[in-house]
Each structure stands twice: as structure tokens, then as C-alpha cells.
Structure 1
């Protein structure tokens, strides 16, 4: 008995009543196709059990069918901070709707950076989502200038670039945290900031200062101590602040891991939370509710940011030239630490 021939793109187009080019655009995930044509092609493909040849499709569309999520941090940091898996989950969900593969890349050395740049420039990915970029890192802009669709998680460290970004409202969220501590009766409020080569750290510090000013509190640079977004960094910074301000009674840490470190330092110093000191974090990472005591924190919708980043990079891949930046709102989640 002769074997049945596999359905072709031409046979799908004929059944759908559209051109081969239109059928190809639908099955390649292009957005600029009428809904009527899209449904006709998808129905025809399902009826014929058509399976696209990815290699052939890549030759025609000049697309790899994959997008890189690039984390610019040591591997250990990627696995210890729940922020990164949450961004990844949101981005993956959005890309999956277009049947685009997510490629995870962690850049922790110069050699890895150079290897990824060659990989990206050689067309192995259709775009890149950069997460946790430090300082004036030229790589995202260099790839963008080379024609690769690129987006950033977080506002660029310096103005003047052309790479769009998606971010939480870091200024507004930190301002809400500071005002909450004032309203809880705290008189000496300090903050543990993130690394100073990241825009998110500057934005959360700016919001903290704005919150104090809104209640007539004077700012003193000594009220801030730099951490590194880790538990150890939060503990060390809080120990320094306790030595500097023995009367401190409010702490805003710029992420939940550093807030957990602050809780450890305060417990070691014999300070009761919230009886002696009230503590607020930022992120509402999964461990926040399980802390001792459960942590008041600023919730940022990290999976939503991941989805927005993926949506933005796909829009660039589809040929949109002006993709606006996105800032998503935050909210204060009040628990026992305040």
C-alpha cells in the first residue's frame, strides 16, 4: 500500500483559500495577518495534520524561532534569587503562545559574554531579553545597533540609549514603603540599598528619600548603607547601620533577601521586630511570607514584567520600530514585621 504523502505548505494554503505566502506568515507566527486568514490557515493545518519543517522555515523567514533571556550575574546568584525564575516563567509563558523557544543564558565571565555576542550576531536567536544589567554595560546597545531586537528588564543605567525596557514602579514602591514606616511611628528610619551600579538601586533610594520628605523628615546620607541584593549583604549592611544609629527603629531594605539579612542582624543584636524595629522589604518574593516574622514588603508583579519583556521583543522581531517602555505598578503588602 503506497504511503500517504505528508501535507505541504501549498496544500494547507489551497485548503484555506489563501496564498502560500499568507499561509507561511500565519504558521511562522507573524502578527500582521487578518484574523479571518489566520483562522482559515490554522484550521486547514489542523485538518491536514500539517507539521512545519523548522529548518526550511528558518531558511525562508531568516528566523531561528528562539529568543534569549540573558542574566548578567554569577551562576550562584541566579539560583539563589527567586526574582530570576519568576521573570523567566513570565517570559516563557508569553513566548510559548507564539511557539518561540526561550534560551537561558547566564553571563558570569568575559569569555561567556564574548561567546554569547558571537552566538547572537550569527543569527542563532531572534532577540534578547537582558536582566540584571550593571552600570554602562555596552552589550545590549551593541547588539541593538547590530540589528538584533533587544529589551531590558529595568531602566537603563544611563539615559541616551535606544533599548526599550520594562520595569516595576521602583520609585513609587519605595516611597510607599518609607511612608508606611513613618506612619507606623518610626523616628529613625534607615535603608539598605542595592548595588550602586544598577538603576533599580538608585530608583528605590530616590523613592525612599521622597517618602521621608513627604513627611517632613530630613535626609542624611548616613541613613543609607549599600548591600548587594543578597541575605549576607543585607545582614552586613544592617550591622553597620546599627553601629551608626543605635536608636534606629525602621529599616527599608531594597529587596526581600536583604530584608531577611536585616532580620537576622536585628535578632542577633537583641532587637525585637516589630516591637523595637519595623522592617519593610521589596519584591514580595515567595520566602517573604515565611520569614520570622512574616515580612511587610512592596510587591512587584515579576511574572508580568517577564511577559511584558517577551511581548516587547516579539513586537520588535515582527518589525515594529517604536516599542514604548513599560512601568508596572507595585503595591504594599503589610505583614507582621511592621
Structure 2
């Protein structure tokens, strides 16, 4: 005979946290301010007990009443970068296409990476949405813990540290970087530097790790030369100058984003360095900017629109093209696209 799983109750969460049931409820609902100490204890108790709030059942996609719910796409990025980086608009195109197939609507919310965001949590956990797509580093694991406790399905776009078993859809950032650097080395370049993304972001760390793998694979006399940017054009310019300080004989650059690669091209043009004759440049993303630079940018294409669609598929419990849904991590292939810059 099957045994019924006994789920922890709110009272048990409160008891473990050493607070009243009312205080535990306020933490989960974000309905009123509580002390930082109480907040931390309740969040810890929720995680340890695996507490999940009971929510009213919503109809599955395609069933009666489906229009009552929506999906929230939450982007953790400052507004200036959100508007300038085409990654986000491409991702939302994929999300929209997939939700149209499921006859669902969606809302887009932006939030600072560092604020506690009680209003955001209150909205996400308040029954307004049937699922959540998290995009970008949200800072710590408190947010997914609270969302999970509220019983709202969620999926992350991109691998994030501290996310536990949260399902995610990611591009093969490590493998794409390896492709780019191998290409430069096979073309005879020997002083290959990289403009890496922020080391505290998984996407930056993965692309840097791919660069390092390809450099180690090549062996002596090739060695690493690394400068860091923040995925903006200006940071790419500054990082290129730093690479030249570190390696005056620099003859190739792998930039971890097309925007940073565009900044590197701008700096090289100002210095009178010819691309690709003097310095070859390869970016990552294959955004529209890659075809607008002069020379046009060789880059690694990541399937951004497809990632958005697949995130929705994982969230709603189905997968396109007959694939299986619900896996812990889906990694989508990247592709090297050769143009004029290297």
C-alpha cells in the first residue's frame, strides 16, 4: 500500500524558526515588515523542512480557465543595460512565441540585483502568475526559496550559483569559448588574450573557463592573458587597452560578448591596429551588432530565442520537438560564425 507523504506545515516552519505562525506567514507573504533575524530564520526553516505552500489549482495549458494566469519573466539587470543589451529582447521573442502556442500571456519585471525586493516577492508569490522565468543573477538563494515555498513553478535562464536544484536552460558557454579560441590558434595566432565577463556571473566564469581550456590544450608557448569587462562596449575598449599593456604582441582577442568585442574593435581602430591583419577578434552572442561592426564580427552564436522558448516549455511541462521536459539543466549548443574580423 502506498504511503502518503506528510508535508511540513506552516506551524512547523514557525516552530523551527522560533517565531509565531503569524510572523512566518508575514515572511512568506511579504505582507508586513519583519526583522532581518526573523526573516533569515524563517527562510532557513523553509529550506530545511522543504515547506511548500498550498496554492489553488490552476487549469493546465489548453484547459478551461487557462486565461486566468500568466507567466512572469523577471530580469535582474539595471535598466540601462537591459535596454542596450539585445540578449533580453531576443530572449523575450522566444518566450512570447512559446507562450502564444500555449495561449498564455506574460509580464516582464526588472529588478536590481542587490535590493531585497519585498514588493517583487509579494507579487510573485501572491497568486498573480502561474510560473516564473528568472533571468540573470538574483543574488543569494532567498528568492528561489521563497518562491518554492509559495508553490509557484520556476525556471532559470542561465546557470546560476546557489540555485540548488532549480531547473535551468543554458547555452554551452564553455564549449562555445573553446570553439572560438581553437579557431584563433589554428589560424596561427599565438598571443591570444580574452576580454572576460564579470567573474561572479556564471556566464562570465564559464566562457573564461572555456578560453583557459583551449589555451592549456595548445600548450607552450601559448599563455593566458585576461582582462575583465562588464558586457558593455565601454568596458570592451578599456579591457583591450589593458590586454595590450599585459601583452604588447597581442595578435588575437576572444571577447565574451559581442558588445565588448565591438568596444575592442573601436579601441584597435583608434590605435591604428588593422583587424584582422594585426589583431583578430572573435565575440560571443551573434547579436545584430556583430553584422554592424566594421569589419563584421566573427562570433559564437548562442540560440537565445530558442532558449526563451525552451524555458517556457520546461516551465509548463512540455518540450518542443518531442523532447522531454523537467530536466534539471538543459544545455543548448553554440556555433562558431566566421565573418571578417578573424
TM-score range, shorter-chain basis? 0.7 to 0.9
Partner of 1:42: none
Q: Is the 8 A contact 1:181 1:189 kept in 2?
A: yes
- Computing the radius of gyration from Cα coordinates, the structure with the larger value is 1
Superposed, 1:55-94 pairs within 5 Å as 57=65, 64-94=68-98
Over 3 Å off, 4+ runs: 27-31, 109-112, 134-138, 217-221, 320-324
Superposed, 1:215-234 pairs within 5 Å as 215-217=218-220, 223-234=225-236
Query: Equivalent residue of 1:122, what SS?
Result: coil
Q: How far apart, in 2, do the equivalents of 1:332 and 1:260 lie?
A: 17
Q: Displacement, 1:140?
A: 2.8
Over aligned residues, Cα RMSD in angstroms?
A: 2.5
Q: 5+ residue gaps in structure 2?
A: 1-56, 319-323
Partner of 1:336: 340
Partner of 1:118: 122
Q: How far apart, in 1, do the equivalents of 2:326 and 2:311 lie?
A: 14
Which of 204, 210, 217 is 1:214 aligned to?
A: 217
Q: How far apart, in 2, do the equivalents of 1:321 and 1:120 lie?
A: 23
Bigger mean CA offset, 277-286 vs 104-113:
104-113
Question: Measured at CA, do residues 217 and 178 of structure 1 come closer, stay the same or move farther in structure 2, by a change above 3 Å?
Answer: farther
Question: Measured at CA, do residues 114 and 217 of structure 1 come closer, stay the same or move farther in structure 2, by a change above 3 Å?
Answer: farther
Structure 1, residues 34-72: CA drift from partner, whole Å, max 9, x if none?
xxxx8xxxxxxxxxxxxx7xxxx47xxxx8410111110
Q: How far apart, in 2, do the equivalents of 1:79 and 1:112 lie?
A: 23
Superposed, 1:170-319 pairs within 5 Å as 170-217=173-220, 223-315=225-317
Q: Displacement, 1:219?
A: 7.1
Partner of 1:165: 168
Question: Measured at CA, do residues 321 and 254 of structure 1 come closer, stay the same or move farther in structure 2, by a change above 3 Å?
Answer: closer
Question: Measured at CA, do residues 217 and 146 of structure 1 come closer, stay the same or move farther in structure 2, by a change above 3 Å?
Answer: farther
Q: Displacement, 1:74?
A: 0.6
Q: Is the 8 A contact 1:212 1:218 kept in 2?
A: no
Q: How far apart, in 2, do the equivalents of 1:250 and 1:114 lie?
A: 46
Question: Measured at CA, do residues 28 and 145 of structure 1 come closer, stay the same or move farther in structure 2, by a change above 3 Å?
Answer: closer
Structure 1, residues 121-165: CA drift from partner, whole Å, max 9, x if none?
11111111111115535323431243211111111224x602110
Q: Is the 8 A contact 2:61 2:316 kept in 1?
A: no
Question: Measured at CA, do residues 310 and 328 of structure 1 come closer, stay the same or move farther in structure 2, by a change above 3 Å?
Answer: same
Number of residues of Structure 1 aligned to a counterpart in Structure 2: 281
Q: Displacement, 1:323?
A: 3.5
Q: Displacement, 1:248?
A: 0.4
Question: Measured at CA, do residues 86 and 269 of structure 1 come closer, stay the same or move farther in structure 2, by a change above 3 Å?
Answer: same
Q: Displacement, 1:324?
A: 3.4
Question: Measured at CA, do residues 85 and 137 of structure 1 come closer, stay the same or move farther in structure 2, by a change above 3 Å?
Answer: farther
Q: Is the 8 A contact 2:215 2:223 kept in 1?
A: no
Q: Is the 8 A contact 2:174 2:207 kept in 1?
A: yes
